[in-house]
Each structure stands twice: as C-alpha cells, then as structure tokens.
C-alpha cells in the first residue's frame, strides 16, 4: 500500500502552500513598512533596488568568507546560560560618550513652562509671569493651580522621569522637546539603549536583542543572539537582567515597535518583566529636531545627516532573509552581518540621542 507515502505527499503539498502564504504575508508587511512614513519599525530601507543588489552581493561575499566556520570562531563571544536555556553574547566597546541634559537645565526647563499645568494657556502664563511667578515652584500656594503645581514639583524633585513624560504627553505630546528633559534626571549609566533584529513584523521570533550602556566614557554594547529560535527566551532573560528600577529605555521608534514586540515575546514565553517605564523614543524627538533637513526619518537617513554614511550594511528588510539563509546553511556569514547591523544601529542611536540632548 502507498498510504504512508501519499499522506506525506499530501502534507508536504499543504505545507508548501502555507509557506508561500506566510512569505506573501511577510512581503506585504515589508511593503507596508516601506511605504508608510508614519511607521518605521526597522531602521534602514534602501530607496532603490541597487541597495538590495548590494546586500545580496554582501551576503554572497560573507558566505564565501565564512565557509565552514561557526559563529563562535568568527565573532568572539560567550555562551550565556540562563534558566530559560542558552544564547550567544557578543560584547564590544565603542568610543562613544553619551551627553545628557544637565539636571539643572532639565529642571529649569520643566519648571518654567506653566502650560504644563492644566488650564494654563499662553495668556494665563504671561499674566502669571507678569505677576512675578517665575517657576512652577512659586505656584504651589496659588489658589487655582496650587495643587497641580505641587504634584508636578514633587515629580521633578523625585526625578520621576516616567511620570514626567506622561505628564508632558497629556498636556502636549510625548514627543515634545520638554519630555526629553526628563532624561536629564538619569545618569548616563541608567540609560539602556535597545534595538531589536526580528524575523518579522510582530508575533515572529527575535533574532538579536542589542543593548548599549554608557560606562565611563565608553559605550558598552552587548548583543544577545539567538543562534536558533530556541535561544530566544534566554536572550529575553538577558535583556531583563539589564533593567532595574532606575533604568530608562532609549530606542528608535521603540514605542511603536521594540517595546510592544518585546512585551508580546515575553508574554509568549510567560516571562515576567516590566518594560513600562521611562522611555525616550528618539525618533519622535528627531522628527522635530531635523524636520525638513533629511529626506525622511529613517535612522539611516538621520545617521547620514548627523554622522555620515555607513561603510557596509544590510537593509533591515533583508534581516529575515539573511537569518533564514544562516539557519539553512549554518554558515555564520549572514548572521555576522545581522549582528554588525544591529551594533551599528545602537551606535547610531546613541549618537543621535546625544545630539538631540545637546539641543
């Protein structure tokens, strides 16, 4: 009887069809990303096909170069062992020093804008200032605005950056430059720069979680790499080990992409961790800062504007393709390219953050 063979044949037909549908859905999502200027989850998209052609040439070169070599040989790192299994950690130091807003300047900017109080518009602000109120701190006894002023003052004194961002967000928007001042209440080493490389747009696995921290005058970059899909939970655990009560996140479009993505993955594996905290999304501040000066607000364009173009890189849209090649061939080349790309993104993120903080 042929039953066995026929069943396999049928299932593989069904499997091939679903695979092509998933790929179609993935392509459609890429188109959506590229065409939407509002939503830029990845960081780099070539505007023409030559970008893709270059990337594929790069992939071929990398595969040749790393033929027969394992990731561990090519990219020095350590195997990290967690309760949720293993992942691969790559650590590098970059000569980037992070400049933040001086706390004094931050405090002053926040306390002198009376429009942060509910019910105060420009005319009221002018009137109050004419009557000699110079700071929100002066208003705590005020009949009408006193209670609010006191609450706001307390947040400033307690340096509660998370609540302050929300406060600014309620009165203006969270991307208002005023919100950035809240970052001044963090020492540089409390800032955690985060950038993800993922296999797709939501509900797909994460390939690399990159974090960077400013320690003394250097930027320490740690990348947690899933050498296969099974290593994702360990990478998530590793990320959480960098987060404590005083941590503030710095991302590029992380409010729309990285943080919800991470939350979905944490829930997927039932790992507890709270990423709802002070979060500075550089994309939003950059939009205001460089409006009209760059062709768009992709990280690459900003990076080019602020620090010049990259040497060699892959487009974010090709990350899944590179990773799948790595999985299929077990050639480290394409994965190395993803790790490099992620590190360059983190460095660029740190630079641009410093730049917006300089004002």
Partner 1 sequence: MLSAREPIFAETAEEIAPNVQAYLRKKGIRLYRHQIKARAALREGKDIVIATPTASGKTLAFNVPIFEELDREHNATALYLYPTKALSNDQLKVLQELELISAVRVNPSVYDGDTPSHKRPKIRTSARIVISNPYELHHVLPWHYKWQRFLANLKFIVIDEAHVYRGVFGSNVALLIRRLRRLCSYYGSEPQFVISTATLANPIEFGEKLTGRTFTLISEDGSPRARKYFVLYNPYADGIGKRSAHQEAKDLFLLFIRNHLQTLCFAPSRKMAELIALWAKNEAEESTPLLADRIAAYRAGYLPSTRRRIEERLRSGHLVGVTSTNALELGIDIGSLDAVIMAGYPGTIISTWQQAGRAGRGQDESLATLVGFHDPLDQYFMKHPGALFGGSHEHAIIDLSNEYITLGHVMCAAAEFPLRLPRDVAYFPALLSESLEELERQGLAKDTSNGWVYSGSGRATEAVPLNALSSQIFKVLCEGRLLETLDKTRAYREAHSGAVLLHEGETYVVEQLDLTNRIISVSKKNVDYHTEPMKTVDLRIVKELEKRPHGALVVSFGIVEVVEQYVGYKTLRYDQVVGIESLDLPPLRFTTMALWFRVPDEAVTQVANEQLDIGGGLHGAEHALIAMMPLHVMCDRWDIGGVSTTCHPDTTAPTIFIYDGFEGGIGLAEKAVELIAEIVTVTRELVTGCSCDIGCPACIYSPKCGNDNKPLDKQAAIVVLEQLANLASAASNR
**Interacting stretch for partner 1, rule CB under 8 A, among 72-80, 91-99, 228-236, 295-303?**
228-236
The least distance separating partner 1 from the CB of residue 9, rounded to whole angstroms, comes to: 8
Our CB check for partner 1 shows the closer of 163 and 263 to be: 263
Report the sign of the C-alpha dihedral through residues 140, 141, 142, 143, in that order. Answer: positive
The least distance separating partner 1 from the CB of residue 11, rounded to whole angstroms, comes to: 5
Of the candidates 101, 199, 336, 346, which one interacts with partner 1 according to CB under 8 A?
Answer: 199
Our CB check for partner 1 shows the closer of 319 and 346 to be: 319
Of the candidates 5, 18, 68, 308, which one interacts with partner 1 according to CB under 8 A?
Answer: 18
* 258 in contact with partner 1 (CB under 8 A): no
174 and 284 Cβ atoms separated by less than 8 Å: yes
Of the candidates 201, 235, 250, 337, which one interacts with partner 1 according to CB under 8 A?
Answer: 201
* 272 in contact with partner 1 (CB under 8 A): no
Instruction: Identify residues 83-112 at the interface with partner 1 (CB under 8 A).
Output: 84-85
The least distance separating partner 1 from the CB of residue 261, rounded to whole angstroms, comes to: 12
* 14 in contact with partner 1 (CB under 8 A): yes
Tokens in use for 184? 């001044």
* 274 in contact with partner 1 (CB under 8 A): no
Our CB check for partner 1 shows the closer of 23 and 217 to be: 23
* 17 in contact with partner 1 (CB under 8 A): yes
The least distance separating partner 1 from the CB of residue 51, rounded to whole angstroms, comes to: 19
Tokens in use for 225? 């790499």
**Interacting stretch for partner 1, rule CB under 8 A, among 34-42, 99-107, 178-186, 265-273?**
265-273
The least distance separating partner 1 from the CB of residue 106, rounded to whole angstroms, comes to: 30
* 229 in contact with partner 1 (CB under 8 A): yes
Our CB check for partner 1 shows the closer of 206 and 332 to be: 206
**Interacting stretch for partner 1, rule CB under 8 A, among 22-30, 47-55, 111-119, 177-185?**
22-30
The residues that touch partner 1, with contacts defined as CB under 8 A, are 10-19, 21-29, 84-85, 199-205, 228-230, 232-233, 263-264, 266-270, 320, 324, 327-328
């Amino acid at each position: 009887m042929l039953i066995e063979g026929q069943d396999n044949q049928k299932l593989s037909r069904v499997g091939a069809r679903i695979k092509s549908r998933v790929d179609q859905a993935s392509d459609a999502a890429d188109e959506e990303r590229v065409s939407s200027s509002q939503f830029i989850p990845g960081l780099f998209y070539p505007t023409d096909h030559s970008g893709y052609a270059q990337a594929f040439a790069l992939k071929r070169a990398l595969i040749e170069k790393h033929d027969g070599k394992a990731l561990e040989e090519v990219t020095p790192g350590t195997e990290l062992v967690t309760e949720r299994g293993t992942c691969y950690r790559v650590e590098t130091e970059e000569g980037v020093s992070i400049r933040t807003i001086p706390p004094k300047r931050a405090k002053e900017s926040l306390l002198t804008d009376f429009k942060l109080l509910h019910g105060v518009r420009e005319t009221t602000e002018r009137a109050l200032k004419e009557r000699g109120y110079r700071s929100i701190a002066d208003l705590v006894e005020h009949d009408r605005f006193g209670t609010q002023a006191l609450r706001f003052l307390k947040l400033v004194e307690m340096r509660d950056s998370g609540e302050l961002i929300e406060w600014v967000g309620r009165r203006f928007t969270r991307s208002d430059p005023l919100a950035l001042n809240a970052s001044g209440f963090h020492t540089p080493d409390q800032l955690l720069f985060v950038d993800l490389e993922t296999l797709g747009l939501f509900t797909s696995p994460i390939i690399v979680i990159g974090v960077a921290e400013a320690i003394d005058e250097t930027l320490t970059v740690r990348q947690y790499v899933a050498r296969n899909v099974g290593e994702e939970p360990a990478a998530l655990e590793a990320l959480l080990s960098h987060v404590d009560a005083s941590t503030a996140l710095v991302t590029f479009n992380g409010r729309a992409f990285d943080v919800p993505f991470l939350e979905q993955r944490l829930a997927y594996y039932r790992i507890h961790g709270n990423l709802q905290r002070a979060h500075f999304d550089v994309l939003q501040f950059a939009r205001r800062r460089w409006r009209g000066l760059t062709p768009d607000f992709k990280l690459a364009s900003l990076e080019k504007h602020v620090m010049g173009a990259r040497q060699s890189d892959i487009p974010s849209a090709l990350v899944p393709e590179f990773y799948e090649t790595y999985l299929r061939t077990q050639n480290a080349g394409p994965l190395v390219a993803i790790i490099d790309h992620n590190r360059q993104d983190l460095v660029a993120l740190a630079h641009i953050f410093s730049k917006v903080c300089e004002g």
